[in-house]
Amino acid sequence: MLTHEELLNRRCVEGLLRVLDQIPARVAVREPIAMDDATMDLVAFWTLLRWERTFLILALEEMGFNVWSLTCSVDELLNERRAEARDPANKDAPTRQTLVSTDELDRLTRNLLDRAGREARALGHPFLGTEHLLLAILRNPGPKLAIPLARHGMTYERVEYRVRQLLGGKPFGHLPADAGPPKPRYASWDSKAVGVPRRFGMSVMFLMMTMYAVLFAAMQLFGTPPVVFAVIAILVTGVGFGQMVLFGGKYPRAASIWTGAILFPIEILGVLIWTGSLKAIAILLICPPFGALFGYLAGCLAAGAFLLIELYGKRAEAEEAADAEIVNDTEDAQTTAAPEDMTAEAE
């Protein structure tokens, strides 16, 4: 049996010690079962998932994993291993004495702790915890365990990244440990900007139609040629779609600039081909900067419309909340006054 001194020398934290204490009992309940490194991974993984709602379980649930469903899948795998051991046709079926061999369990546990220790050292952690045990299991899962892991989307990379976020660790290259994936340069000034939402209702569609109507009416008032109509309409529409699609909708300003810089030269090329003025094709060299500017302006126009909708929605919600509060106050006043009226009538 692993001694307490050995576990302390490995710098095992209290949570990991509790998990390790449960493994022999978990194995005994499954007897007879053939124990090897793959089965030890299954038992340890099942113990981690079935443990108390600790930091590790809460972190996995926060990442969107269905811990209970994954636990049931691992439990089925352990039952399959147990059924294989009970099969009379299996000549290599383990005996009861082989199953409960303390030396064998200690050997397999040490192998798992060695792998977990490598994960801790790779992260630069001076301790050994349940998160390192989980990473050791996920790095090289057996072929049977790999199936439910893939079905639930639990990968070594996802969990390791989350561990780095929560507990820190050695940096990703030149980035600090808590930086995560590299962010775009424009993330600092563009993350809170308003843009075209990826989903919207009929009210937003009516607003867009109104915006186009006002824009085209203004251009009609100034006698704008039809080709300019087309260029502006395509640019504004393209920038709106760019804000929805590019960068996951998170950076609308950057999306507007990139869309304008790419779309505007294409439009000008189309105009030159339509008018037969290909001799002036050199003008395309200066189109990207102007396209970026026009894209930004078109993005501001679209974002401004949606900002008005957002402000109006918040105002409507505030008014509804105020009306509801007035109704509640009135009902409370009536409820309070009712007993007094009844008392007066009794007198």
Q: What is the domain count for the chain?
A: 2
Residue 53 lies in a domain: yes
Residue 347 lies in a domain: no
Quote the pLDDT of residue 126: 86
pTM over 0.75: no
The answer on 237 and 90 residing in a single domain is no
Residue 161 lies in a domain: yes
Quote the pLDDT of residue 334: 58
Quote the pLDDT of residue 3: 78
- Cβ-contact 86, 31 below 8 angstroms: no
Low-confidence residues in the chain, pLDDT < 50: 93-98, 171-183, 186-187, 189, 339-347
Residue 186 lies in a domain: no
For residue 192, give the amino acid letter: K
The answer on 148 and 28 residing in a single domain is yes
CATH number at residue 63: 1.10.1780.10
Quote the pLDDT of residue 239: 84
Helices 156-167 and 102-123, packing angle to 10 deg? 60
Quote the pLDDT of residue 171: 44
Q: Maximum Cα–Cα distance for the chain, whole Å?
A: 103
Residue 311 lies in a domain: yes
Domain that holds residue 318: 202-334
Residue 28 lies in a domain: yes
Q: Is 278 exposed, middle or buried (0-12, 13-18, 19+ CB in 10 A)?
A: exposed
Quote the pLDDT of residue 231: 85
Residue 345 lies in a domain: no
